[in-house]
Chain A
Amino acid sequence: MGKIRSLVKKEFRQIRRTKAYFALIFVAPFMQLLIMGSAITNEVKNIPLVIVDQDKTPSSREIIDKFKAVSIFDYLGEAHTAEEATLGLDDGLVKAAIIIPRGFERDMERGLSPAVQVLVDGVDGNSAGISLGYITSMAAGIQKGWMMARKLPVSGGVQVIPRYFYNPELDSKLNFVPGLIGLLLLMITTMLTAINIVREKELGTLEQLMVTPLGGTQLIIGKIIPFTILGLLQFSMGILAARLVFGIPVQGSIPLLYGMVLLFIMTTLGMGIFFSTVANTQQQAMFVAWFSMIFTLLLSGFFVPINNMPRIVQYLTYLNPLRYFITVLREIYLKGTPFRNLWKEAVILGGMGVFLILASSMRFHKRLK
């Protein structure tokens, strides 16, 4: 026990001595959480819009005024011709253009149902779809107003009344911030462990540790303890920032959350140790850690719902500890889900953690001999 304690002490001393570590473990993730938590959003806002008014009647001017008034669109002004609007799309300055044809008002009065053309930049298909949706529903609203003013029958039909649970404002932050905390935890703990061990290998101090009366298992435990503590600290800072800066409280049980974090850290440290056994130099360790990280991020459901992915890729995500952890984080954080609905994830994370640590420690022992 005393041996492990002195090893842990040594690790902390090393970490404290390297000032840059402090910045990388605490300051950088904190900054990233702040910046990215406030910046990224799936919403589509400030769509740069131009309108080509070939009709120049009260009706067409009313359409322009309506679009000007909404903050979803960033109305850039009138374009004179359709070509001018298209050039704007080419340059990327304009994302949507509305063309009101000549004779629009007259045709409407005659009941000819003229077509208003809408041009959208489809490069970002998702945003394009949303912009189109906004424009069509604005047009439908204008139309309804006109029809009512003319005492024309407006069809009643079916109306869908949505009720949003857990996030009534549909705020992206609530979705991304807990996920980001998980991502940052994974990145830092895995990489720190991997590099730490490989560095000792490179410098030859690992051999010195081996000739001390420390056993291999004690050596591994002595590495796991300090990094677990660092991980927990980093995580606590994350939830504190979520609370204080973004005003996102944890809806569920905090002890449950920490229990899950511990299980997850076992998997990240296990991966870190594993990478250190694969690599001989710090560069290789970083390459391996970094590439696996990119895949872990992608296949976690953080960016894209796993349901969207092709079947085979979905199977791959079952191997990803982060997938379960992100689910757990979001469930506990936003929905206050209790343990009885999360035990499956807990069992899988725990199993993966124990397996990864045991397997990589065994590999580590073999490597040393």
Chain B
Amino acid sequence: MKRSFLSIVRKELIHIFRDKQSLFMVLTMPLLMLLLYGYAITLDMKAIDIIIADHSAGPESRELIRHIEATDFFKVSVYRGGVAHIGELFQNREAQCILEIPRDYGESIRTGIPVQLQLSIDASDPNAANFIQNYVSRVATLSFAGYKGLFTVEPRVFYNPDMRSAPFFIPGLIALILLLICALLTSIAIVREKESGTMEQLLVSPVKPVQIILGKVLPYTFLGFFDGLMILIVGSLLFDVPIQGSVLLIMAMMLIYVVTGLSLGMLVSTVAKTQAVAMLAAITMTVLPSMLMSGFIFPISSMPEIFQLVSRIIPATYFIEIIRGIVLKGNDLHNLYKPASILLGLDAVLIALSIRAFKIRLE
């Protein structure tokens, strides 16, 4: 019983180490992904092209332009005189927004009459459009501050006081990379044997389905876990994201999550008939949903309610909650027992389903 299980494990290990090219990719690609994604994904807007049409051309309007130029949020070009074809400028992508300062601007400011600035925005990226509007409004009102209100608002930002992108994305990225790698690793573990005809040999040997499935999952667990640790350490050090909570707890959770990814791939593998189908299915099921629906970038609470349910069946959703909780907020198990137990439950269900699918195949 135990011996046949171990021999399956040994056989898989031999498979893993024999294919040096794949092994190399499995070990280096997560790091590469972490680096590129870590550096490239940032929601801090920068260098937005703005055209300022200054009809007034007085000291007051120059003052305002200086305020806008002072941030690295905008790349300013100043036009003296009017802007005729706004649509053409946008279609040429010469600017993302155009601010017009009216002729009577200077005078209005001096005499204290309210004045309006027209801001045209290319809203084909609505998020950026929103930012632009907020930013210009803030700069415009700030330059004429100095009035005292009835009360003030004093913000305090928790966990990530500078609201940097890295502490938000790096933990999420670990969740994403791990799931992708793990699902892909096992997605062909069984179907490969079917295609190459070695399945029959396995079937006539005295090994039980449970042993085959678990025996194939175990060696990949080491591999996935190793990958996870590697990117956790590199990500935390390189991107300056200190871990507030217990590293041991992260490791335990990671182990659970690695098994989720692996057993998901395993299930695909037992159901699919060819390797091509298995891998395509694994990729379809993991890449886009885990990136877009898990709260990795887009907030789940903003989604329509039905689609929030969809995000609830994506394993990455739970692990992202867990790892962000531990890394950023220093959460411990009593904050996180819910997502943790859901992941554990998923593990059990997925493995049970794979074993069942495998048995049905046998008959």
| A interface residues (Cβ-Cβ under 8 A, vs B) | 18, 20-21, 24, 28, 32, 35-36, 38-48, 74, 86, 89-92, 95, 104, 107-108, 113-130, 132-133, 135-136, 139-140, 143, 146-147, 152, 155-168, 170-172, 174-175, 183, 187, 191-192, 195-196, 199, 280-284, 286-288, 290-291, 293-295, 297-299, 303-305, 307-310, 313, 327, 330-331, 334-338, 341
Which 5 A-B pairs have CB atoms at the shortest separation, nearest pair first? A125-B163, A156-B114, A39-B307, A122-B160, A170-B126
B216 to chain A: closest CB distance in Å?
14
B15 to chain A: closest CB distance in Å?
10
Measured between beta carbons, the chain B residues less than 8 angstroms from A20 are: 272-274, 277, 281
Check B304–A304 contact: CB distance below 8 A: no
15 A–B contacts from the bound complex (CB under 8 Å):
A20-B272, A35-B310, A92-B325, A116-B154, A135-B153, A143-B150, A158-B114, A161-B117, A165-B121, A166-B90, A187-B287, A283-B19, A307-B46, A327-B93, A337-B91
Partner of B45 from A41, A283, A305 at Cβ < 8 Å? A305
- B113 contacts the other chain (CB 8 A): yes
| B interface residues (Cβ-Cβ under 8 A, vs A) | 19, 21-22, 25-26, 29, 32-33, 36-37, 39-48, 86-87, 90-93, 99, 109, 112-130, 133-134, 136-137, 140-141, 143-144, 147-165, 167-168, 180, 184, 188, 192, 272-277, 279-281, 283-284, 287-289, 291-293, 297-299, 301-304, 307, 310-311, 321, 324-325, 328-329, 331, 335
Please give 19 more A-B residue pairs, beta carbons under 8 A apart, in addition to A86-B158, A158-B117: A20-B272, A32-B284, A45-B301, A89-B329, A91-B335, A92-B329, A116-B154, A122-B157, A125-B160, A135-B155, A140-B149, A156-B112, A158-B114, A166-B90, A183-B288, A195-B279, A282-B279, A299-B40, A309-B39
Check B329–A155 contact: CB distance below 8 A: no
Check A92–B302 contact: CB distance below 8 A: no
Q: Which of A287, A295, A313 has the most CB atoms of chain B within a 10 A radius of its CB?
A: A287
Check A287–B155 contact: CB distance below 8 A: no
Given A115-B151, A139-B153, A287-B25, does the pair A158, B115 have CB atoms closer than 8 Å? yes
For A45, the closest partner residue in chain B by CB is B302
Partner of B279 from A21, A133, A183, A283 at Cβ < 8 Å? A283
Given A20-B272, A143-B149, does the pair A90, B86 have CB atoms closer than 8 Å? no
Given A175-B126, A287-B22, does the pair A21, B150 have CB atoms closer than 8 Å? no
Check A113–B150 contact: CB distance below 8 A: yes
For B335, the closest partner residue in chain A by CB is A91
Measured between beta carbons, the chain A residues less than 8 angstroms from B324 are: 123
Given A32-B284, A118-B153, does the pair A39, B140 have CB atoms closer than 8 Å? no
Check B302–A43 contact: CB distance below 8 A: yes
Main SS of the interface on chain A? helix
Check B283–A132 contact: CB distance below 8 A: no
With A and B bound together, what is the CA distance between A191 and B283 in angstroms? Answer: 10
Check A158–B140 contact: CB distance below 8 A: yes
Check A113–B151 contact: CB distance below 8 A: yes
Check A294–B180 contact: CB distance below 8 A: yes
Check A170–B163 contact: CB distance below 8 A: no
Partner of B127 from A42, A117, A297, A335 at Cβ < 8 Å? A42
Check A35–B119 contact: CB distance below 8 A: no
B40 to chain A: closest CB distance in Å?
5
Check A147–B149 contact: CB distance below 8 A: yes
For B137, the closest partner residue in chain A by CB is A160
Measured between beta carbons, the chain B residues less than 8 angstroms from A286 are: 184, 188, 275, 279, 283
For A108, the closest partner residue in chain B by CB is B150
With A and B bound together, what is the CA distance between A153 and B156 in angstroms? Answer: 29
For B277, the closest partner residue in chain A by CB is A20
Check B158–A89 contact: CB distance below 8 A: yes
With A and B bound together, what is the CA distance between A230 and B112 in angstroms? Answer: 65
Partner of A127 from B140, B293, B299 at Cβ < 8 Å? B299
With A and B bound together, what is the CA distance between A123 and B168 in angstroms? Answer: 6
For B328, the closest partner residue in chain A by CB is A123
With A and B bound together, what is the CA distance between A210 and B321 in angstroms? Answer: 53
Given A115-B152, A307-B48, does the pair A284, B22 have CB atoms closer than 8 Å? yes
Q: Which of B29, B122, B160, B288 has the most CB atoms of chain A within a 10 A radius of its CB?
A: B288
Q: Which of B40, B91, B119 has the most CB atoms of chain A within a 10 A radius of its CB?
A: B40
Partner of A282 from B116, B275, B289 at Cβ < 8 Å? B275
B50 to chain A: closest CB distance in Å?
12
Q: Which of B39, B93, B124, B304 has the most CB atoms of chain A within a 10 A radius of its CB?
A: B124
Measured between beta carbons, the chain A residues less than 8 angstroms from B25 are: 284, 287-288, 291
For B94, the closest partner residue in chain A by CB is A341
Measured between beta carbons, the chain A residues less than 8 angstroms from B118 are: 161, 163
Measured between beta carbons, the chain B residues less than 8 angstroms from A143 are: 149-151
B353 to chain A: closest CB distance in Å?
18
A116 to chain B: closest CB distance in Å?
5
Q: Which of B25, B48, B150, B275 has the most CB atoms of chain A within a 10 A radius of its CB?
A: B150
Check B160–A123 contact: CB distance below 8 A: yes
Partner of B188 from A282, A293, A313 at Cβ < 8 Å? A282
Measured between beta carbons, the chain A residues less than 8 angstroms from B99 are: 160
B116 to chain A: closest CB distance in Å?
5
For A155, the closest partner residue in chain B by CB is B147
Measured between beta carbons, the chain A residues less than 8 angstroms from B91 are: 331, 335-338, 341
With A and B bound together, what is the CA distance between A246 and B76 in angstroms? Answer: 36
Given A40-B298, A337-B91, does the pair A35, B43 have CB atoms closer than 8 Å? no
Check A171–B126 contact: CB distance below 8 A: yes
Given A118-B156, A136-B153, A304-B43, does the pair A164, B123 have CB atoms closer than 8 Å? yes
